[in-house]
Amino acid sequence: MNVLIDNREVFLSGFKNTGILFVFSAFFALILGTIVAGMRVSPAPAMRAAGTIYVNAVRNTPLTLILAFFALGYPRLGLPHLDYMFAAIVGLSLYTATYVSEAIRSGINTVSVGQSEAARAIGLTFMQTLSLIVLPQAFRSVVPPLFSVFIALLKNTTVAAGFGVVEAGGIRATLSDLGEPLLPGLLWVALIFVVLVLGILTPLQRYLEKKWRVAR
């Protein structure tokens, strides 16, 4: 307990940045993942191919390499400067969006084909059918897998500590510099992650599941 109390500013700063990384990355990953899922079920072959290539390429690339590219490779391209925090958000968003896309695509496949055919019969375009009829139903059925993706994202934020972002994954190094025992510090970090998952994400998942429950 003394390690936590004596270094509370270190823990607060680390988990504050973890929260920023998680919230913004989850938001952008959800938007991008939804777009990619729509591309993967599009009637246009070029759109389907682009979505498939993106998902297969990024999902099968280690997250460490993606973050290393934004931390080490991106600055050499002469493009607009990104600070480490924003670069980490971009990398986490691009990576997580592939898993969000697959979760949403699985939900789209649960929606009856007859509903899409009925929408086209009354003159709705593919985008109108997708946004007004298919996606609202798909989201209701993919709450558990989506939250599994977001829980993984929360834990993946610790990888950013290796690329200059001071967040929960970097608490160990800070405690080491301060001469604090590492094992108690690591145990507190792990416990706080458990509390975040079981105390915030899991109750939110259960609430949304209950609210959006699909009648059988």
- Give the pLDDT confidence of 177-213 residue by residue, as tens digits: 666 666 777 787 788 889 999 999 999 999 988 887 7
**pLDDT value at residue 186:** 76
Beta carbons of 120 and 52 less than 8 angstroms apart? no
Q: Cβ distance 169 to 101 under 8 Å?
A: no
Please name the CATH architecture into which domain 2-211 falls.
Orthogonal Bundle (1.10)
What is the pLDDT averaged over residues 160-183? Answer: 66
Indicate if the pLDDT at residue 154 is higher than 60.
Answer: yes
pLDDT digits (tens, 9 = 90+) for 88-121: 899 999 999 999 999 999 988 888 888 888 888 8
Q: Is the confidence at residue 65, as pLDDT, over 70?
A: yes
Would you state the torsion angle of the CA atoms of residues 121, 123, 125, 130, taken in this order, to the nearest 10 degrees?
Answer: -60
Contact 37, 111 (CB under 8 A): no
Q: Answer with the residue of higher pLDDT: 168 or 16.
A: 16
Q: At 122, is the secondary structure helix, strand, or coil? A: coil
pLDDT at 216 over 60: no
Q: Which long-range contacts (CB under 8 A, 24 or more apart) does 187-190 make?
A: 188/3, 188/4, 188/11, 189/11, 189/14
* Region of residue 179 (phi > 0: left; psi between -120 and 50: alpha; otherwise: beta): left
E strands, the chain, in order: none
Region 51-69: mean pLDDT is 92
* Whether this model's pTM surpasses 0.95: no
Highest mean pLDDT: which of 13-27, 50-64, 175-189? 50-64
CA atoms within 13 Å, Cβ hemisphere of 87:
25
